[in-house]
Amino acid sequence: MKKTSHIKSLPPPLNRRQALNRLTISGVASFGFLSYTQKISAAILQPNDETVPDPTETNTDAHRWRPNLHFTASKGFMNDPCGLIFDGKFYHLYYQFNPKSPQAGEPSWGHAISEDLYHWKDCPIAIAADKTGMIFTGSAVIDEKNSSGLFKDSPQKNLVVFYTKATEKSQSQWLAWSSDGGLHYQNYAKNPVVDAGHNSFRDPKVFWHEPSKKWIMTVVEASKKRVSLYGSYDLISWMHLSNFGPSGLFGTEWECPNLVELEIENETNPDGSPKTCWVFFVSINPGAPLGGSSTQYFLGQFDGERFTRKSAGVGVVDFAKDNYALQFYNHFPNHEKVYLGWFGNWQYCEELPTKEWNGAMTLPRKATLRRNADKFLSLIQKPLGLEALREAKIDIQFPESQKNTWLLSALKRRQLKPYENFHATLPNETAVEFLMDVVVEERGVRNPDGASGRAGRVIIELTNALAEKLSLGFDAASCQFWVDRSELRGFHHPFFTGSFSVALPKDSQQFSLRLILDGCTLEVYINDGEDVGTFLLYPYHPLTTLTIGATNATLTLDKLELYRLKRTMNRPHFSSP
């Protein structure tokens, strides 16, 4: 959540995060006689022309890489997800938004709603900037019992948001509230509700902690690389409880803290309830291991006042570098822990080739914990609800020797012999999902076999007629998986890293893979979410062919599936010639 601006009229003494912007509370002016659902519908049908630009664009080339599933703003610059909450009917997505430019600056809170986290509808800007200060990242809760005393009527859908109000000299936490389902907000008259007295204090994430019967706020002291924890019984008066950090990866600044209790897969308490562990997610920027921005996590215990680490280890959310500032939903159904992240990296996010629009959200990801091969707990991430968007399978062309031959046909297995390949034609202008479970033949010798490289490498390539190539694969000798985007030619930047890798379990000769390719986005899930990579991709021309093969090794495939995915985002779309 590096808050930046390129407003040329700003005086030189102000850095990009200190730019003053407009704040006006905007939304639907008067729908007091309508039901909650009618109010939401009216806001969608009658957007404010100034703050919610018409998504119709004249420059179709600007939408060359526009995703079909991943949320993108209609135009302008979008970054951190904010105020993620489910109100019983709608999932709300607020987000950092500059509608006037494809670069960061003048951050407002954009707003969209969905009933399934995929089909999104734009609402008017919820909180827009003004001369009193910038509007940074924050969170939302439902004050069901009116503990704040701000709501006179029904306690249903009493939305309260917390955000950072920033000026050149200060960053403090402000409260605003809505009684119409989050369409527009009124600032609390006695803001700020939390103020540490300096200008490196931001990103409040608030949640209800049932065991201690109070609200908890986590907020970073960014330059000190620590998180402050506060508690409240009424959402207005806050007491400092403790600090966490510095610890783990320092970076230059800490941002966007999220403290959540995650279930541990396949482990239960004596009463049959699932075992859990508290996880503290903290984003860093710049200074991530791969450069720029990234998110780390810590495992531990939380007693309502203090977070205590279980071990000295620290994990990273992503083995690539394009997932930042994640935020978990509050009030998610069935107490599942689901997050959205910003598809970007502050090293190059303001120079991307999409021009008129900039920024995307990840797919909704459910998070749990699982014990890995070494019996340590690690983060598990899986896309939520994607199966419902699958259309008919895409045909995969098998080698001639395998067209009519099944290996263990009752188990639906395929075998790919050395020097053979599977091929598939990728549909144009459509998101696709690819799934593969593969076992690599055991070999006693791993020496290179000619120009193809070391034996036992599984190679997956997505290519086009311009010889552009996206390469992914598994090296069985070292048990590592790689992704290489360096041979795509639509975007070049000194910090746009080309190749990435991640180590899989030692001595493993098999893995499962799930890819979602959608416009400029690629999400890679390995071994049922044990390792996840999030990538921005900019081929000059759409990738049209999928090829799967191996270097002098036989592959046994338990699963090999390719699907078209339904388009869910109503956005301008590029049609290739």
Helix (H/G/I), strand (E/B), else coil: 165: strand
Tell me which residues of the chain have a pLDDT lower than 70.
Answer: 1-62, 154-156, 400-412, 443-453, 573-577
- Give the list of residues 6+ apart from residue 24 with CB closer than 8 angstroms, or none: 128, 129, 130
**Is 510 in the same domain as 544?**
yes
Residues 375 and 418 in one domain: no
pLDDT at 8: 33
Residues 112, 233, single domain; the answer is: yes
Token readout for 68 is 């079909």
Residues 67, 72: Cα–Cα separation, whole Å: 8
- Indicate the burial class of 146 (C-beta count within 10 angstroms; 0-12, 13-18, 19 or more): middle
Torsions phi, psi for 257 (to 5 deg): -75, 145
Q: What is the pLDDT of residue 449?
A: 58
Phi, psi of 36 (to 5 degrees): -60, -50
Active-site option among 255, 461, 468, 530: 255
- Selecting among 57, 80, 441, 475, the annotated active-site residue is 80
The CATH number linked to 506 is 2.60.120.560
CA atoms 126, 131, 132, 137: torsion sign = positive
Catalytic, 484? Answer no
Cα–Cα distance between 124 and 97 in angstroms, integer?
12
Residue 347: what pLDDT? 98
Q: Evaluate whether residue 146 is within a structural domain.
A: yes
User: Do 488 and 548 belong to one domain?
Assistant: yes
8 domain-assigned:
no
Integer Cα distance of 156 and 335 in angstroms: 19
In a domain, 11, yes or no: no
Asked if 350 and 435 sit in the same domain, the reply is: no
pLDDT tens column, 436-453: 999 998 765 555 555 556
332 and 401 inside one domain: no
Helix (H, G, I), strand (E, B) or coil at 40: helix
Residue-by-residue DSSP string for 488-534 = --S---TTS--EEEEE-STT--EEEEEEEEETTEEEEEETTTTEEEE
Residue where one domain finishes, among candidates 326, 350, 382: 382
Within a domain: residue 456? yes
Statement to judge: residues 368 and 405 lie in one domain: no
Residue 155, in any domain of the structure: yes
β 432-440/422-425 pair status = unpaired
Cα–Cα distance for residue pair 467/558, rounded to 1 Å = 30
Question: 376 and 398: one domain?
Answer: no
Whether 418 and 369 share a structural domain: no
Strands (E) across 72-225 are located at: 76-86, 91-98, 108-114, 120-129, 134-142, 159-166, 171-178, 186-187, 201-209, 214-221
Q: Give the residue among 496, 504, 554 at the shortest CA–CA distance from 525.
A: 504
CA within 13 Å, CB half, 225: 14
pLDDT in tens, 141-169: 999 999 999 998 765 689 999 999 988 88
CA dihedral 200, 205, 206, 210 (to 10 degrees): -120
pTM assigned to the model: 0.89
Q: Could you list the residue range(s) of the whole structural domain that residue 405 is in?
A: 388-565
Q: Give the model's pLDDT for residue 33.
A: 34
Do both 291 and 313 map to the same domain?
A: yes
Please tell me the total count of domains within the chain.
Answer: 2
Q: Which tokens go with 474?
A: 């598994």
Render the burial of 86-96: b for 16+ CB within 10 Å, e for the rest: bbeebbbbbbb
* CATH at residue 253: 2.115.10.20
Q: Is residue 5 situated within a structural domain?
A: no
Task: Note whether 253 and 262 are within 8 A (CB).
Answer: no
Judge whether 116 lies within some domain. yes
Instruction: Provide the sign of the torsion angle of the four alpha carbons 309, 314, 315, 317, taken in this order.
Output: positive
| Structural contact between residues 98 and 110, judged by C-beta atoms closer than 8 angstroms | no
Q: Which two tokens stand for residue 348?
A: 């190059």
Tell whether 251 and 359 lie within a shared domain: yes
- Residues recorded for the chain: 577
- Is residue 180 domain-shared with residue 261, that is, in the same domain? yes
Examine the residue annotation and report whether 80 is marked as an active-site residue of this protein: yes
The pLDDT, as a whole number, for residue 2 is 46
Whether 575 is covered by a domain: the verdict is: no
